[in-house]
Amino acid sequence: MAEVLSQKQIDELLGKLQSGNVDFEEIEEQSLGKKIKDYDFTSPKKFTREQLKLLNTIFDGFSRFFSLHLSSMLRIACQTEVVQVEEEEYKEFNNALDDSVMVGVIGMNNNEYNIDGKQILLEMSRPISFYILDRMLGGNGSGYKVERDYTEIEISLLEYLLKQIIVMLNNAWSNYLDVEHTVDAIETNSRLLQFIQQDESVAIVVVEIKFEELKGNINICLPSTVLEDFFKIFNSKYAKVQKKNDAEQEKLRKEAIITSLKNSPLTVSALLGKTEITLAELLQLQTGDIIPLDTPAAGNPVKVYVEKTCWANATVGVKKKKYAVKIVEGLQ
């Protein structure tokens, strides 16, 4: 949605226009340059960047469903796109609405976690709504330039359209959460929308709709009190899935390491015993000399080493005319 000027900003702009001190070149440079919005530390943000990104992904899927539906229903080429997802206070959204609008009050429910009575707003711009009505009633769409209130028949047709929209909203949310939407009411006067606090933070999703010669928006207002419950469910489910995935990844990682090490050559040795001699005795050793070890001849197993690690106890024997050791106890 377009940024709404405060009363102070409007008064300053009117004062500059009356005094002739307006620098139009500077205004043009500011409008063409990168827009930077000041962060208000007195009103901290309720939504994280990841949460806004999640909403963008969800409603991007909704926009694709809605584009296909409008094209088939109105028999005309239609393009829809999510152009903006941002957080602002509800009073900014409400002040930007005209007195006569088409706003659907949509309920969001989750039976598994007993969440109901949560409501969001879906506002459709006047030209888009009258263009759709004109095409639904057999016209060519040229009758969208209308400056009057909606009739009862038109409200009924728009309610029929909203009931189709909530099916697409259900499908868009289904990849992440089981959310059931309902059409609770349709308001044509923005001043009657009082169930959201003026200073409450809301997420505004702007979906742009393009027909052949017409462009307009659908603005979806999601209060923070509504999304908090659904984000809690999503975070708990995501945490469980992430933990499960981490455990599976760790298991696969260990299996890959073991597989890569299985063909590594290792030195295995059996230690019959040890002894100590002096250097003089070593120099005097000759063929036939006997070196007594510190291990008794019977009843004591020999140690089997893998590289430098003592791995098992074994007994000495012969197999196929070769000395061999038989593992009797593992030490690892």
Q: What is the CATH number for 315? A: 2.30.330.10
Among residues 242, 258, 277, the one where a domain terminates is 242
272, 222: one domain:
no
Clarify whether residues 120 and 233 are in a common domain.
Answer: yes
DSSP state of 53: H
Residue 23, in any domain of the structure: no
Are 128 and 201 found together in one domain?
Answer: yes
- Out of 77-81, 179-183, 318-322, least confident range: 318-322
In the numeric block, which tokens belong to residue 251?
Answer: 């298991």
The answer to whether residue 256 is domain-embedded is no
CATH code of 67's domain: 3.40.1550.10
**Do both 305 and 182 map to the same domain?**
no
Question: Is residue 98 a part of any domain in this protein?
Answer: yes
Is pLDDT of 58 > 90? yes
Tell whether 284 and 234 lie within a shared domain. Answer: no
Answer yes or no: do 77 and 128 share one domain: yes
- Tell whether 181 and 104 lie within a shared domain: yes
Using 50, 70 and 90 to split pLDDT, how confident is the model at 32? low
Q: Is residue 88 part of a domain?
A: yes
Helix, strand, coil distribution of the chain in percent, nearest 5: 40, 25, 35
- CA distances to 5, 10, 270, 301, 304 from 308, in Å: 77, 83, 11, 18, 10
Tokens of 200: 């409450």
Residue 36 lies in a domain: no
Q: How many CB atoms lie within 10 A of CB 255?
A: 10
Residues in contact with 145: Cβ distance below 8 Å, sequence separation at least 6, in sequence order: 127, 130
CA–CA gap between residue 190 and residue 4 (Å, rounded): 16
Domain range for 276 is 268-330
HSE-up of 168 (CA within 13 Å, CB side)? 17
Tell me: do 63 and 169 sit in the same domain: yes
Q: What is the pLDDT of residue 168?
A: 95
Number of domains in the chain: 2
Q: How confident is the model at residue 25 (pLDDT cuts 50, 70, 90)?
A: low
pLDDT at 154: 92
Query: Does residue 42 surpass a pLDDT of 70?
Result: no
Out of 187, 208, 242, pick the residue that ends a domain: 242
Does residue 296 share a domain with residue 186?
no
pLDDT of residue 169: 95
pTM recorded for the entire structure: 0.62
**Both 103 and 181 in a single domain?**
yes
- Both 165 and 61 in a single domain? yes
Mean pLDDT score of the chain? 84
d(CA 198, CA 185): 20
Same domain, residue pair 210 and 294:
no
Mean pLDDT, range 264-282, rounded to an integer: 87
CA distance 122 to 106: 7
